[in-house]
């Protein structure tokens, strides 16, 4: 029996199903992106503790970090609902489909922003709460409202917000910041553009239709690949700087060097294919995108494991 179109959309007799509604609000937080942010937060807490941090503190930080990043993402979807509607990659987002109204998304985002700040302030410390709030405000006002639709360097500076969880994790344990935290912050900063540019190369037509000047829209593949190589070398160099600054055991520099070598091979491979004039499926830009997620995950896992060996 063929289902009614409304049922296929998770709606029965005009009323959204409860599960579909809950799922829509969860989708507003962009949980897949937050998973990646938390993968950098928790290992940093191990490094700051130089061992296993208090389990309850980790729970507080993870929950507060999710609420904060989720609030920022919900507000991002509220602001970008017009361009999300014309991009095939984002056409299924809750506001675009009507599963969540713009007003509901706005209230939800603000509630998470305020709630996360209070949560971290009361259960962790004031510094971590202030840092998380700073990251949220930067993402919403500087990146989403200020940079995203105005400059091809949007993801470079907008990526600063994605580095903040590193500082939050360190501050949660020590109630302070350090050069070690700053180095890990810079690793994520230099990682973000070469992580995201391959994806935006893949979906450049979406951004072109939406009028968003991502670098692959304003520049050719070769220019983008060249920038990816530059940021990749900077990222690997900074990752190795954590060795003398932290300090670490023998494990970290060996692992960071090996992981960085694989990354640089992929980055230079993409550059070589772009220089040869390859395009479309032959460019294989998503190879670097997928490896970038594995790289960051493994690097920060090594940060945590190394702290247990000290």
Say if residues 244 and 125 touch (Cβ distance below 8 Å): no
Task: Based on the fold, state whether residues 148 and 197 are members of the same structural domain.
Answer: no
CA nearest neighbour of 111 among 150, 145, 67: 67
256: domain CATH number is 1.20.120
Task: Based on the fold, state whether residues 133 and 244 are members of the same structural domain.
Answer: no
Helix (H, G, I), strand (E, B) or coil at 16: strand
Indicate whether 2 belongs to any domain. no
Task: Based on the fold, state whether residues 217 and 282 are members of the same structural domain.
Answer: yes
110: domain CATH number is 1.10.357.140
Q: Which domain holds residue 187?
A: 178-310
User: Phi and psi (nearest 5°) for 11?
Assistant: -130, 135
Sign of the C-alpha dihedral computed for residues 300, 301, 304 and 305 taken in this order = negative
User: Phi and psi (nearest 5°) for 279?
Assistant: -145, 175
pLDDT of residue 16: 54
Task: Based on the fold, state whether residues 100 and 199 are members of the same structural domain.
Answer: no
Indicate whether 133 belongs to any domain. yes
pLDDT of residue 4: 40
Task: Give the residue from 175, 198, 213 where a domain finishes.
Answer: 175
Task: Give the residue from 159, 175, 191 where a domain finishes.
Answer: 175
Task: Based on the fold, state whether residues 237 and 214 are members of the same structural domain.
Answer: yes
Q: Print pLDDT tens along the chain (310 aa).
A: 344 444 444 444 345 578 899 999 999 999 988 777 778 899 999 999 999 999 999 999 999 999 999 999 999 999 999 999 999 989 999 999 999 999 999 999 999 999 999 999 999 999 999 999 999 999 999 999 999 999 999 999 988 999 999 999 999 999 999 999 999 999 999 999 999 999 999 999 999 999 999 999 999 999 999 999 999 999 999 999 999 999 899 999 999 999 999 999 999 999 999 999 998 888 999 999 999 999 999 999 999 999 999 8
User: Phi and psi (nearest 5°) for 12?
Assistant: -125, 120
Say if residues 123 and 149 touch (Cβ distance below 8 Å): no
- Residue with the two structure tokens 């910041």: 177
Task: Based on the fold, state whether residues 76 and 193 are members of the same structural domain.
Answer: no
Sign of the C-alpha dihedral computed for residues 287, 292, 294 and 299 taken in this order = positive
Task: Give the residue from 160, 175, 190 where a domain finishes.
Answer: 175
Task: Based on the fold, state whether residues 129 and 258 are members of the same structural domain.
Answer: no
Task: Based on the fold, state whether residues 188 and 169 are members of the same structural domain.
Answer: no
Q: How many domains are there within the chain?
A: 2
Indicate whether 6 belongs to any domain. no
Overall pTM > 0.75: yes
pLDDT of residue 279: 87
């Amino acid at each position: 029996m063929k289902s009614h179109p409304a049922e296929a959309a998770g709606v029965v007799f005009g009323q959204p199903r409860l599960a579909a509604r809950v799922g829509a609000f969860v989708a507003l937080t962009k949980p897949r992106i937050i998973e990646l942010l938390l993968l950098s937060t928790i290992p940093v807490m191990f490094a700051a503790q130089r061992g296993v941090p208090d389990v309850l503190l980790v729970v507080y930080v993870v929950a507060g970090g999710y609420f904060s990043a989720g609030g920022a993402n919900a507000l991002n979807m509220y602001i970008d609902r017009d361009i999300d509607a014309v991009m095939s990659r984002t056409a299924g987002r809750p506001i675009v489909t009507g599963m969540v109204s713009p007003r509901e998304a706005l209230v939800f985002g603000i509630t998470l922003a305020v709630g996360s700040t209070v949560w971290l302030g009361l259960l962790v410390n004031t510094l971590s709460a202030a840092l998380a709030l700073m990251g949220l405000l930067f993402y919403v006002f500087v990146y989403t409202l200020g940079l995203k639709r105005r400059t091809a360097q949007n993801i470079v500076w907008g990526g600063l917000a994605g580095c903040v969880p590193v500082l939050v994790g360190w501050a949660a344990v020590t109630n302070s910041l350090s050069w070690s935290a700053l180095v890990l912050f810079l690793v994520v900063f230099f990682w973000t553009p070469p992580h995201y540019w391959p994806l935006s190369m893949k979906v450049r037509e979406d951004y072109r239709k939406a009028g968003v000047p991502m670098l692959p829209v304003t520049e050719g593949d070769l220019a983008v690949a060249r920038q990816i190589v530059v940021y990749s070398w900077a990222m690997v160099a900074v990752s190795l700087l954590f060795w003398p600054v932290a300090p670490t055991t023998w494990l970290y520099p060996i692992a960071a060097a090996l992981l960085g070598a694989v990354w640089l091979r992929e980055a230079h491979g993409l550059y070589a294919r772009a220089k040869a004039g390859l395009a479309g499926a032959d460019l294989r830009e998503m190879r670097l995108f997928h490896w970038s997620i594995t790289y960051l995950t493994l690097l920060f896992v090594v940060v945590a494991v190394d702290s247990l060996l000290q």
